[in-house]
Amino acid sequence: MSTLKKTLVSGILTAVCAVGFASVFGLESLRSASATSGVTPGVGLYQLGGSLASVGNPSAYSIVVGDSSVSGELASLPGTSLVYFAGTDVNTQWSTGVPYSQAEANGWLLRDGSGNLLVNQSYADDYVGDVGNPAYQQAWISNVLGYLAANPGIKGVFIDDVLYDLTPLAGEEAAKYPTQQAWAQAMLSFVQAVGTALRAKGYYVLANASGYVPGDPNSDDGANTISWWQQLGPYVNGLMNEFYDETSDGNNTLRTTGSSWTQNWNDWQQLIQTAQGMGDDFVGVTYGAAGDTQAMSYGKASFLLDWDGAGGAFIYDSVGGANNSNAGSDPLASAIPSDNVGRPVAAAQQVGLGWIRRYSRGIVLVNPDATNAQSFSLGGSYYERPGDAVTSISLPPASGAILLSSNGDSP
C-alpha cells in the first residue's frame, strides 16, 4: 500500500526492539461492531507508525487499522480493530507475517529471470515473498495466529498488497510466476489459505486488493479490480479500495463521470456493490489535504450512496505532514460533515447529473460531473451544520454534501 506503508516503519521497529518477535505478532464482525454503543457506523481510521493518542476518540470508529506498536490500544477498542500485515512484502527489519530471516533461510524470496531478488520499487527494505508456496503460507498463518493469540481483543488483520499483478510493485514478474495470470493464481492461493485459516479461528480479514495491470485498459475503469475482488471475496470479510474516488498516480485527482482513465466514477463506484453483493464489507480510502473539505465530502457522500448501512467504512487520510505522520487521519475531528446521518432508508436516485439518497437522519447528495453544477430540491428542510435550514442546494462539479434532517447532531 503505497501511502499507508510510509508511516509504518518507525513505529514497528520500536515495537520489535522493545518486546521481541513473539509480541510483535474471537470474530466480532464489522457489521455487529458498528452497532456497539458509541461506535459511529460507516467511518474508519488507520494510524500506522505511532500511538492512537493523537486521535480524539478512537472508540468512535467502526473499524481501526493500526500496527503492532499500538496492540494494547487496539485490543481495547469496541469496534473492529485490525493489525497491519502483508504477504507479498517481506521486510528486512520487521515482520509483515514472515520475518526476512525465516523467508531467506527457507528460500521463500522470489527472484527475477537473472536470479536477483525482487524488491518493492517503493520500499527498498521490502523483498517479495513466495506467496504461492504452501510452506510460506503455513508459516505466515502460524506467526500471525501466534500474534493474535498473544493479543486478545484484537479482532483480526489487515493484509496489504493483495495484488492481481506483481509488476506494479516489483517492476517485473517473478521467474517462478512469469505471467500476470501465474502470479494472480499464486496470490489467490495465499489469500485462500490464510483467509480460511484465520476466519476459522474467528478473526476478521480485510484485504487491500488492487486489480491494476499496466497497459491493460480494464485497469482504467475498475473492471480488473472487480474481477479480482470476485475471486478473493469468499476468503475475506472485507475488501479495501485504496485511492477511492481518486487516481492513484500521486495527484489524487478526484474521479468524475467520463471515459478518461482519470474519470470513470460510475464504474469504480461499482466496487461497493461488488463487495457487499458477496457479503463482504467495502472499505474506501481517500487521500487529500487535512483541510480539503471537497475531497472529504465527495468521498464520504459517494460511499454513502451505495453503502448497505451495515459493515464497511469510509476512511479519509491526509497525506504528507511532519515526518509523514498521519496527523490528519482523524476523520471525526476533521471537516467531514454529519457522520451521524443514520442508516439508508431508500436506494440512490439520479437527479440530472447527480445522485440523491435518503437516510434515517438526513440526506446524501453527489454531483460527479466534471464540469457542470447540479441543483437539488430536497423535499424538506435540512441542515449542513447547525444554523439555517435549506430546502434546495446546488453542488459544483465533483462535490458531495451530507445534510441532517434536524438542527443539531443528536441521535
Task: Using DSSP, state whether 221 is helix, strand or coil.
Answer: coil
Specify the pLDDT at position 205.
98
First and final CA of the chain: distance in angstroms?
A: 36
User: What confidence tens digit (pLDDT) does each residue in 138-148 have?
Assistant: 999 999 999 99
pLDDT surpassing 90 at residue 133: yes
pLDDT band at 15 (very low <50, low <70, confident <90, very high): very low
Mean pLDDT over 49-54 rounds to 80
User: What confidence tens digit (pLDDT) does each residue in 181-197 have?
Assistant: 999 999 999 999 999 99
pLDDT surpassing 80 at residue 29: no
- Boundaries of every domain in the chain: 4-336, 340-411
Highest mean pLDDT among 20-24, 334-338, 398-402: 398-402
Angle at CA of residue 290, ends 286 and 291, nearest 5°: 110
Specify the pLDDT at position 50.
76
Specify the pLDDT at position 291.
81
Cα 3 from chain centroid (whole Å): 11
Distance in angstroms (rounded) separating the CA atoms of residues 298 and 292: 10
Specify the pLDDT at position 28.
29
pLDDT surpassing 50 at residue 411: no
Which CATH number does the domain 340-411 belong to among 2.40.128, 2.60.40, 3.40.220, 3.90.550? 2.60.40
pLDDT surpassing 50 at residue 326: no
- Say which residue the cell 500476470 belongs to: 180
Specify the pLDDT at position 360.
94
Q: What percent of the chain has pLDDT over 90?
A: 75
Q: How high does pLDDT run on average in the chain?
A: 87
Specify the pLDDT at position 332.
63
Between residues 69 and 355, which one has the greater pLDDT?
A: 355
Task: Using DSSP, state whether 118 is helix, strand or coil.
Answer: coil
pLDDT surpassing 70 at residue 124: yes
Mean pLDDT over 52-74 rounds to 90
Specify the pLDDT at position 10.
35
User: What confidence tens digit (pLDDT) does each residue in 238-295 have?
Assistant: 999 999 999 999 899 999 999 999 999 999 999 999 999 999 999 999 998 888 889 9
Specify the pLDDT at position 328.
43
- Indicate the length of the chain as a whole number: 411
Q: Which of 208, 220, 225, 231 shows the shortest CA–CA distance to 159? A: 208
In 111-251 the beta strands, taken as DSSP E runs, fall at 126-128, 156-163, 204-210, 238-242
User: What confidence tens digit (pLDDT) does each residue in 377-405 have?
Assistant: 999 999 986 678 999 999 999 999 999 99
- Say which residue the cell 446524501 belongs to: 364
- Say which residue the cell 470479510 belongs to: 237
User: What confidence tens digit (pLDDT) does each residue in 157-171 have?
Assistant: 999 999 999 999 999
pTM of the model: 0.90
Between residues 213 and 410, which one has the greater pLDDT?
A: 213
Cα 83 from chain centroid (whole Å): 13
Specify the pLDDT at position 325.
40
Fold designation for 4-336: TIM Barrel (3.20.20)
Judge if 4-336 and 340-411 fold alike in CATH terms: no
Q: Which of 240, 332, 292 shows the shortest CA–CA distance to 56? A: 332
Distance in angstroms (rounded) separating the CA atoms of residues 276 and 299: 18
Q: Which of 30, 31, 12, 29 shows the shortest CA–CA distance to 21? A: 12
Cα 115 from chain centroid (whole Å): 34
User: What confidence tens digit (pLDDT) does each residue in 86-123 have?
Assistant: 999 999 999 999 999 999 999 999 999 999 999 999 99
